[in-house]
Structure 1
Amino acid sequence: MNDTASPKTFLPYGRQQIDAEDEQAVLDVLRGDWLTTGPAVDAYEEAFADRVGAQHAVACSSGTAGLHMAAIAIGLDFGDVVVVPSVTFLATANAVRYVNADVLFADVDPETGLVGAEQIARAIAGLSEGTVKAIFPVHLTGHTVDIASLRSAFPHLAMVEDACHALGGEYDAGKGMVPVGSCPLGGITMFSTHPVKTIATGEGGVLTTNSQVLANRLRWARNHGMVREPERFQNRVMGFENGEAAPWYYEMHLPGYNYRLSDVNAALGLSQLRKLDRFVARRRALRQRYAERIDALGPHVAMQKVAQGCNPAWHLAVALIDFAALGTTRTAVMNALRDRGIGTQVHYIPVHRQPYYAKRYGPLNLPGADAYYARCLSLPLFPAMEESDVDRVVDELADVLKL
């Protein structure tokens, strides 16, 4: 199978790369005894935890499901407030609302799109102590939030890292570089394995943590709140017969959901995980090529600034373009590039601008988020691309922008 993108093919902003090994892994499950959650999920979770250096990994049906599970696991409820950067996908904020907590939107750096301790401090200024319960920082496009500074500034707050874009990356945890997902400073990290992400399971997500308590809660939330371990049974009469655990018995200690991942998806994920280092290296090389070419286009076009203290595993290649200064609009540029066989996207519309949240919390002044959004454009980036594909994208972009 030739996965190399031809110069004449349409280049989407992102896509999965599937090979014969991946196909065989899925076929092996289809021909086996398990289709739903079974031994392939166990193997995938074990390999994932080992890869990122965490004690526990919990696979689930999507990144959104993972965020919801994390919100449940840390105990969010009515009256709680969670700080979420406005530049993210809807799911980061929506997961907070799923558990009836409230979102407090924070601004971001206009060049990196990342939230920092300064922006969070501004967001929570004036709130009474104890109102804010958690932070959901977002590792945007592949580079990472300064988690060490957040933990130092807000040691009392629970933390759920939205790392949908950051699998394979590293950040400085204060005592050297660590893999994203290793959770050296506590909390939970959530990854997405949607097809455009670094590895794909079709749909899917994975959460990592070093807390046995949080891992147990995540698994309960994933599977209807069911508990099957005899040592955790609360009804000892129903759970045991003559001192033996009843083999059919289970209990529900909290309401949960059907957020399980199937063995079919997990088999694909395990196969993809073996290629993670290769995928990340290719993404880094392509993104570097973009930086070399884009930054030479003039003062009104630049690649997204790389945050300090991290070694990104690039999910997206984002150019920041001053469309107004160039006498055009983003819509015109995207449409012109599409007509030339190049797909682009915008990541993301600031969530505080969405009608639901604007009505709920009123108008917010987040100039960093608005400035980043006004200029960002995600260009094609996926491992099957060649440097010539990057050159094609940049040449066409320059032509459309009349540079």
Structure 2
Amino acid sequence: MNQPIPYGRQHITDDDIAAVAEVLRGPFLTQGPHIGAFETAFARYIGSPYAVAVANGTAALHLCCIALGVKPGTRVITTPITFSASANCVRYCGGEVFFADIDPNTALLDINMVRELLEQHPRGYFSGIIPVDYAGYPVDLTAFRALADEYGLWLLEDSCHSPGGSFHGGDEQEHRCGDGSLADLAIFSFHPVKHIAAGEGGMITTSNEALYNHLLRLRTHGITNKPGDLTELYPGEPERGGWYMELQELGYNYRLTDMQAALGTSQLNRADVMLARRQEIAQRYDEAFAGTNVITIIPPDSVNHAYHLYVIQVDDRKGLYDFLRTKNIMAQVHYVPVHLMPYYRQFGWKPGDFPNAERYYAHCLSLPMYPTLTDEEQDYVIESVREWAALRLVNA
């Protein structure tokens, strides 16, 4: 291949460009009508009663932690196999991050390890859990919800990899990722390599109206002008006009722009088609690597995997990574375990703390996965991986 094949890529159509151009010709660039339209459409797609659009997925996590009451002394559990923002959001609020190991069969946060961690501490020691739908594989939140309820914890679902994904849990019902039926809050990202590419952007979904209204205020500096939310007149205050607004708490400028919302809505119109293509690509990879020494994670029929990433595991990950680069295939690694990052090592986390996560990291490699990946390009990727595997056998 003459052109590099990245691990992920956005797909921008003429309809997407027209949607953004329409906003540029209109009266609003920031908080205009396309924000609400995007929120409504996204909530409908996910199946959630409420949705709040924000600047990016990290901002979504940060605001959720504020709304859930994270502060200094708050302790939260998450997975080490995730992008660092899933943990950093707790630190932004001064809280403490605790990790639990992954299930090697799914690469997801292992609920048994979480339970073990909870049992090692008195009740009330922890406040919440942040499970991550890593690579697009939905976490079984029915089990996590039961555990959270048992210990009085909140659940924040990091669904950045899984819009459109779903699972049948222990209650034998289908749950869409982020639909608000199990987690208190869920978040999504619209980074270019994600399912919906808005340049940047994020969304928070919930079924809790109080949290929803709080998040609306937090994303705009903590300011409100809703008559029902305003405080009483203070002594000597002039009569209030239509201009009046109140800063009621310390919030942030985490707003999405109308341009991004228009792009996101346009992309959402073909979300099901793009998801189906991702799943088709994953099936072709599954079939190609069946019976080889390339390890893949294939979900059961009860799981509708969203395939943000297609991750394989091999003995010599760096060898394959370097070999694919010579073939113009830009495979990537997701992720360096968060607890091994220098920032988190200062809190006492160290190699050996989570052997499943560390073993997974040592062998995992994300192959190209995006809807516009052609069959020809994918065949080239598959042939290159097989070529490397054959060379490994010869040189063994």
Normalising by structure 1, we get a TM-score of 0.92
**Which residue of the partner structure matches residue 3 of structure 1?**
none
* C-alpha distance in 1 between matches for 2:294 and 2:353: 25
**Which residue of the partner structure matches residue 276 of structure 1?**
271
Cα-to-partner distance string for 1:108-128 (whole Å, 9 max, x where unaligned) = 012321013202112233212
**Which residue of the partner structure matches residue 322 of structure 1?**
315
**Which residue of the partner structure matches residue 258 of structure 2?**
263
- Structure 1 residue 306 displacement after superposition: 2.1
Cα contact 1:224–1:257 (8 A) shared by 2: yes
Of the three residues 361, 370, 378, the one matched with 1:373 is 361
Q: Is it true that 1:189 corresponds to 2:186 in the alignment?
A: yes
Alignment of 1:235-314 (within 5 A): 235-237=232-234, 246-296=241-291, 298=292, 300-306=293-299, 309-314=302-307
Alignment of 1:3-402 (within 5 A): 8-155=2-149, 156-173=152-169, 174-237=171-234, 246-296=241-291, 298=292, 300-306=293-299, 309-323=302-316, 330-363=317-350, 365-401=353-389, 402=391
**2:121 maps to amino acid:** L
Shift in CA distance, 357/285, structure 1 to aligned 2, threshold 3 Å: same
Q: Tell me, what secondary structure is at the counterpart of 2:136?
A: coil
Q: Give ranges in structure 1 of 5+ residues lacking alignment.
A: 1-6, 324-329
Shift in CA distance, 262/238, structure 1 to aligned 2, threshold 3 Å: farther
* C-alpha distance in 1 between matches for 2:173 and 2:4: 41
- Structure 1 residue 239 displacement after superposition: 12
Cα contact 2:340–2:349 (8 A) shared by 1: no
Cα-to-partner distance string for 1:4-60 (whole Å, 9 max, x where unaligned) = xxx543210001111000000000000000001110111000100111111110011
Cα contact 2:39–2:52 (8 A) shared by 1: yes
- Structure 1 residue 241 displacement after superposition: 6.2
Identity, in percent, stands at 39
Cα contact 1:224–1:256 (8 A) shared by 2: yes
Cα contact 2:49–2:180 (8 A) shared by 1: no
Normalising by structure 2, we get a TM-score of 0.94
Shift in CA distance, 395/38, structure 1 to aligned 2, threshold 3 Å: same
Q: Tell me, what secondary structure is at the counterpart of 1:272?
A: helix
**2:303 maps to amino acid:** C
Shift in CA distance, 362/140, structure 1 to aligned 2, threshold 3 Å: closer
Cα contact 2:91–2:97 (8 A) shared by 1: yes
Q: Tell me, what secondary structure is at the counterpart of 1:345?
A: coil
Aligned alpha-carbon RMSD (Å): 1.7
Shift in CA distance, 175/305, structure 1 to aligned 2, threshold 3 Å: closer
Cα-to-partner distance string for 1:206-247 (whole Å, 9 max, x where unaligned) = 1100111111121122111111111111143489866xx521
* C-alpha distance in 2 between matches for 1:40 and 1:53: 19
Cα contact 1:239–1:246 (8 A) shared by 2: no
**2:274 maps to amino acid:** F
**1:201 maps to amino acid:** A
Q: Give ranges in structure 2 of 5+ residues lacking alignment.
A: none
Which range is displaced more, 304-313 or 210-219?
304-313
- Structure 1 residue 248 displacement after superposition: 1.1
